[in-house]
């Protein structure tokens, strides 16, 4: 039996909607100009339309295509923890300084892999914080706030 490729169909539709939204936004916000004298809006609108058409085509073909793609497996835990760790760095480096930011990014991201023992993570974080201080502050003289 032919199975539909729902992943591609859904992502194609989402992309098409995004493309249309971008074009509408660009049409309203920026001057399109003429073909001869293009305004800042022309290229964004063209790309939005392009995404709309391509996304719709992708969805259409996925709907017609027999056979299912290999199951999609999202690694939720690594994804969220790694992204969270980087987000934490951005905040910590602004409101605090380099050392807390490094400790945070290492400790949070270390949780992403269940193989890491708490003690290992602590040791690693300390070692990397020292390393970061040595490389970026002392050797490269980048002038970070430390704490």
Residues near another protein, by CB under 8 A? 7-8, 11, 15, 19, 22, 26, 30-31, 34-40, 42-44, 47-48, 50-51, 54-55, 57-58, 61, 64-66, 69, 72-75, 78-79, 82-83, 85-87, 89-91, 93-94, 98, 101-102, 105-106, 109-110, 112-116, 120-121, 124-125, 128, 132, 136, 140, 142
CA nearest 8: which of 47, 63, 53? 63
Residue (24 or 90) nearer to another protein, CB: 90
Within 10 A of 113 (CB to CB), how many other CB atoms are there? 12
Tell how many helices (H) and how many strands (E) occur in the chain: 5, 0
Those residues whose C-beta lies under 8 Å from the C-beta of residue 21, and which sit 6 or more positions away, are: 48
Find out whether 108 and 81 touch, Cβ atoms under 8 Å.
yes
Instruction: Name the minimum Å distance from CB 58 to another protein.
Output: 5
The three-state secondary structure class of 5 is: coil
Instruction: Name the minimum Å distance from CB 4 to another protein.
Output: 11
Helix axes 98-110, 76-95, angle to 10 degrees: 170
Residue (24 or 142) nearer to another protein, CB: 142
Instruction: Name the minimum Å distance from CB 138 to another protein.
Output: 14
φ, ψ (nearest 5 deg) of residue 100: -60, -35
Instruction: Name the minimum Å distance from CB 132 to another protein.
Output: 6
Residue (24 or 83) nearer to another protein, CB: 83
């Amino acid at each position: 039996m032919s199975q539909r490729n729902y992943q591609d169909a859904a992502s194609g539709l989402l992309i098409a909607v995004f493309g249309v939204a971008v074009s509408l936004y660009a049409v309203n916000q920026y001057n399109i100009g003429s073909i001869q004298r293009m305004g800042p809006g022309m290229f964004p609108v063209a790309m939005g339309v392009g995404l709309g058409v391509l996304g719709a085509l992708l969805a259409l073909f996925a709907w017609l295509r027999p056979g299912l793609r290999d199951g999609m497996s999202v690694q939720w835990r690594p994804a969220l923890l790694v992204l969270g760790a980087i987000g934490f760095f951005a905040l910590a480096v602004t409101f605090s300084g380099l050392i807390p930011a490094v400790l945070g990014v290492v400790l949070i991201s270390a949780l992403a892999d269940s193989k890491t023992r708490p003690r290992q993570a602590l040791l690693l974080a300390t070692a990397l914080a020292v390393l970061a201080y040595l490389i970026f502050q002392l050797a490269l003289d980048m002038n970070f706030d430390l704490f």
